[in-house]
Amino acid sequence: MKVGWLFGLLLITISILVSFSNQSEVVVYFLDLPDGEATLVQGTNQQYTLINTGSKASEIYLIKFLETLEIDTIKHLIITDNDQSYCANKDLIINKFDVKHVFDISETMNQHRTKLATPTLSKEPTSIHLDAGLTFHVLAVSNQPRSSTNVLTYNNQAILFMGRTSITDDDIENFNKYDFQIVKTAHFGATFLPARHILTKINPDVAIFFTSSQNETDGQLLYYLEERWIEPYFLEDVGSLIAIFKDSDYDIEVQFRTKNMKHHINFD
């Protein structure tokens, strides 16, 4: 089964290589890993950001994916949650790649184990400039559990990376000019976050669920998504998902592992 998963991951890199050849686009790649969460972002200036690194069970898949893309340098490595499903391969990534900046939600900084000092990800500063027009905003941070909710913006588009925190109307007030058509669910959808009225306000078209070996999706969340016609994408079922940002819209490409096909969604 592990061989099949790795083979599928290598096959779908062909699509992302084609997407990355267009330097006028920003590509956000939600990785279909066996366990845990990791998202790769490429900016218009060929700058790479890796958000989270998955669990130890996903180590070989994450490394092979990055090596297949011939990525040598990662400008930003961002860890948004101190659970091992998000950060287990952090040191490995730092040691194998030329990582320029590390932002970590964890309050415990094992600097002696890495070649970089690791500043804590917090609301100061509230934003991290990734590339031209591309910004990662820290929206909220919780201590128990240590987690963060964040927003990735490019032009008038935004993706909500929901963590195990609460957010309010005031938290998203500064993002009213953005279209939130994608939300990454909090902690594998195991908790119904954000609150119903927040989800209704941002009104996404797509909800993304990373794969977890330890967490089950909240049934009420799934019912809400169905009720609001929000399409849930479980990466374990459909494979990796690519969001390609353009001037004022973006496409979604879903790599169906078992069906060997792509499903395109265009948001105007």
CATH number at residue 67: 3.60.15.10
Element (H, E) at 51: strand 48-51
Q: Burial, 200: exposed, middle or buried (Cβ in 10 Å; 0-12, 13-18, 19+)?
A: exposed
Q: Please state the domain count of the chain.
A: 1
CA distances from 125 to 133, 163, 247 (A): 17, 18, 27
Residues in the chain: 268
Q: What is the dihedral of CA 203, 185, 97, 245, to 10 degrees?
A: -20
Structure confidence at residue 257 as a pLDDT band (50, 70, 90): low
Asked whether the beta carbons of 4 and 17 are under 8 A apart, the reply is no
Give the CA distances from residue 193 to residues 163, 184, 221, 224, 226, in Å, rounded to whole numbers and listed in that order: 8, 10, 8, 11, 15
pLDDT digits (tens, 9 = 90+) for 149-181: 999 999 899 999 999 999 999 999 989 999 998
Which DSSP category does 112 fall into?
A: G
Q: What is the pLDDT of residue 199?
A: 94
pLDDT of residue 223: 95
State the sign of the Cα–Cα–Cα–Cα dihedral 122, 123, 125, 126: positive
Task: Give the model's pLDDT for residue 63.
Answer: 95
Q: Which residues pair with 223 in a beta bridge?
A: none
More confident residue, 9 or 156: 156
Cα 159 to chain centroid, rounded:
9
Which is more confident, 121 or 52?
Answer: 52
Residues 164/187, Cβ–Cβ less than 8 Å: yes
| Largest CA-CA distance found in the chain, in angstroms, rounded | 49
Tell me what percent of the residues of the chain surpass a pLDDT of 90: 65
The domain containing residue 157 runs over which residues?
2-267
In this predicted model, what pLDDT tens digit does every residue of 91-115 receive, in sequence order?
999 999 999 999 998 754 333 334 4
Q: Is 125 helix (H, G, I), strand (E, B) or coil?
A: coil
Four-point Cα dihedral 197, 198, 202, 205, nearest 10: -80
Mean pLDDT, residues 183-200 taken together: 94
